[in-house]
Structure 1
Amino acid sequence: MATGDENKPGEQCIAFRPYAVSDFGAVAELWSRVNRELAPAGMESLFEQYIATTIEGELSRLLDVFSPARRNALWVVAPAADDKRIVGTFGIECHSGDTTELRRMYLDAGWRGRGLAQRMLRTAEDMARESGFARMIVSTADVQRAALRFYTKSGFKRVRSEIAEAMTAKQAGGGLLRHYFEKAL
């Protein structure tokens, strides 16, 4: 697990650590804020519904969803001097015997552009390999243009795109275009 030892001189030290129940409030606040930023004009109420559904559903049981017993993991990203402040999250979830899904990769807007997302992805990929996975998949909505560029630049190949009509724990629905990617580990 990375603990911030890859920070460059002069940068604030960042720690990646496993999610703990005490992180719930800070994680819910981060995910809510990022999803509100992503909401296209006219879809704000849909995104508010998605946020509420996700907090009440998956977020309330993150330790079950990302159980290490199922080869899953969820990390939080925090400034090392303030581990109560969560600036990012990322996780892996077993999809099949040799495939894991990158999930819940969120990074606070104020921390973007520092190479932190690449470090988060690298850590997730390393942990996936250590857990015996040979392939990683990820999906994202068309409204997440930076994520689309990031995954493509990071070696993921788009395998399909489809319209998401129904809201699930992984998507807001509402007719948003979703893109699905994969990468050999």
Structure 2
Amino acid sequence: MIELRPFASHDTDWLVDRHGALYAEEEGFDETFPLLVREILGDFLAKQVPGRDQGWIAWDGETRVGSIFVVEDDAETAKLRLVLLEPGARGTGLAQRMLDTALDFARAAGYRRMRLWTHESHVAAGRLYARNHFHLVESEAKRSFGQDVVAQIWERKL
């Protein structure tokens, strides 16, 4: 049984390393991507407001297999961040379970909507978000992390 445990500071290096490795392998992202992940986690640890911000790490026994975070974007908007699934955990329903956990938390925290940033190339994630009533509200071609990407913003009401 995969368990979702609250993110702790000792999870930081794993999360940075896995984001860096998986996105380099699957998307060709350069070394600036894990630097961004480390910055996001540093901000989270420094500014986390209990009851408003939360991160979870998915554990399969003693092995980390995923992550998902909710942080305040503004008083009414939660931002979904750092969604990651190890390849072996994909297609198991874990992504839906993690998203349900994040949505439930955001509702309980009093947020009225949720936003997220991703890339068009993350097709499976886009299907997950669309299935869960997120709508694509912005799309922009740009160069990020050493690659030409189409950045996307998705949003939904809670």
Name the residue aligned to 1:89: 67
What's the TM-score once normalised by structure 2's chain length? 0.88
Q: Trace 1:47-126 onto structure 2 (pairs within 5 A).
A: 47-64=29-46, 67-69=48-50, 71-79=52-60, 81-82=61-62, 85-126=63-104
* Structure 2: runs of 5+ lacking an equivalent: none
The one-letter code of the counterpart of 2:7 is Y
Aligned length: 158
Does residue 184 (structure 1) correspond to residue 157 (structure 2)? The answer is yes
Instruction: Please say if residues 16 and 38 of structure 2, whose CA atoms lie closer than 8 Å, have aligned partners that are also in contact.
Output: no
User: Could you state the TM-score of these two structures normalised by the residue count of structure 1?
Assistant: 0.77
Q: Which residue does 1:4 correspond to in 2?
A: none
Cα distance in structure 2, aligned partners of 1:104 and 1:122: 15
Match status 1:15 vs 2:20: no
SS at match of 1:92: strand
Kindly provide the CA deviation profile for residues 106-125 of structure 1, in whole angstroms up to 9, marking residues without a partner as x. 10011010111000000000
Q: Matched residues in 2 for 1:70 and 1:132: separation?
A: 9
Q: Secondary structure at the match of 2:118?
A: strand
Matched, 1:137 2:115: yes
- Distance in 2 between the 1:96 and 1:24 partners? 24
Moved over 4 A (4+): none
Work out whether residues 139 and 178 of structure 1, in 8 Å CA contact, stay in contact via their aligned partners in 2.
yes
What fraction of aligned residue pairs are identical, expressed as a percent? 30
C-alpha RMSD over aligned residues: 2.0
More strand by share: 2
